[in-house]
Amino acid sequence: MPEDTQTATLYRMVMPDHLCPFGLKSKDLLERQGYTVDDRHLTTRETTDAFMAKHAVETTPQTFFGGKRIGGYDDLRVFFDLDPPKEDQSDTSYQPVIAIFSVTALLALGLSWHQDGTVLTLRALEWFISLAMTILAIQKLQDVESFSTMFLNYDLLAQRWVPYGKAYPFAEALAGILMTAGALTWISAPVALFIGTIGAASVFKAVYMDKRELKCACVGGSSNVPLGFVSLTENLMMIVMGLWMGGKALIG
């Protein structure tokens, strides 16, 4: 961080039909880091192109400290040690599944509190699994074509019968919704057990037997979640839920 100045010069696009979001994020980041921002607006396409040509850059915003160019928003985050350099960043992340599992766990506890006046109940665990299944299905249903393409990389049944890849998210959503409602267990339990078993076998073969490094389609076709333990856990939860709900139905 420069010691001789606490002023940053920021060039960003501010046009009648376009306000650059990364320019706003850069300005906010600089101010939060204690800088006074000399905020210079690029108000037309012509002035923006001229600025980029002058400084030999392809994008805006651009930040300067004492005449030295730091770069865009991502470069600022690296400069302030908020992110590792791009070459050091992994192209995989567990953040999507962490977010889904965390929110569904809290939602299940909230439902349990509302229903029974306590959070630590068996029903809360059931809701956690069924809600997680449903939300994961929503992620896949946003782009079924993209999901099914990634799914074909490792799913054993989809590789033999391609339409299964497009049917899978609908089956997962159906099982999750019915299990959340506690209805039509004779449908939800076999469906969860079937897709969970095929999924677990597929992940185990791809990761632990074939030693392949793949992306998991569990949160959709644009996922950067690595195929592995989390994917296997998702399928094992469906197997357990299918057996549990099916057993309850038979006993009840």
How remote is the C-alpha of 153 from its chain's centroid? 19
Q: Which of 67-71, 91-95, 210-214 has the lowest mean pLDDT?
A: 91-95
pLDDT in tens, 140-195: 999 999 999 999 999 999 999 999 999 999 999 999 999 999 999 999 999 999 99
CA dist., res. 65 & res. 47, Å (int): 21
Are residues 43 and 117 located together in one domain of the fold? no
Question: Which of 137, 127, 120 shows the shortest CA–CA distance to 191?
Answer: 137
Which pLDDT score, from 0 to 100, does residue 119 have?
A: 85
Which pLDDT score, from 0 to 100, does residue 86 have?
A: 58
Are residues 81 and 137 located together in one domain of the fold? no
Q: Is residue 30 part of a domain?
A: yes
DSSP 225: P
Which pLDDT score, from 0 to 100, does residue 217 have?
A: 86
Are residues 51 and 137 located together in one domain of the fold? no
Count of domains forming the chain: 2
pLDDT in tens, 98-118: 899 999 999 999 999 998 888
Q: Is 223 helix (H, G, I), strand (E, B) or coil?
A: coil
Q: Is residue 1 part of a domain?
A: no
Are residues 134 and 165 located together in one domain of the fold? yes
For residue 59, the domain's CATH number is 3.40.30.10
Q: Is residue 2 part of a domain?
A: no
Which pLDDT band, with edges at 50, 70 and 90, does 4 fall under? very low
Host domain of residue 83: 7-88
Which pLDDT score, from 0 to 100, does residue 43 have?
A: 95
Amino acid at 117: G
Q: Residues near 138 by Cβ (< 8 Å), separated by ≥ 6?
A: 173
Task: Please indicate whether residue 39 or residue 231 has the higher confidence score (pLDDT).
Answer: 39
Question: Which of 61, 62, 73 shows the shortest CA–CA distance to 33?
Answer: 73
Return the HEC string of 159-174.
HHCCCHHHHHHHHHHH
158 CB neighbour count, 10 Å cutoff: 22
Helix (H) or strand (E) holding 19: strand 18-19
Which pLDDT score, from 0 to 100, does residue 200 have?
A: 95
pLDDT in tens, 25-49: 999 999 999 999 999 999 999 999 9
Are residues 127 and 225 located together in one domain of the fold? yes
Which residue shows structure tokens 């959340």? 180
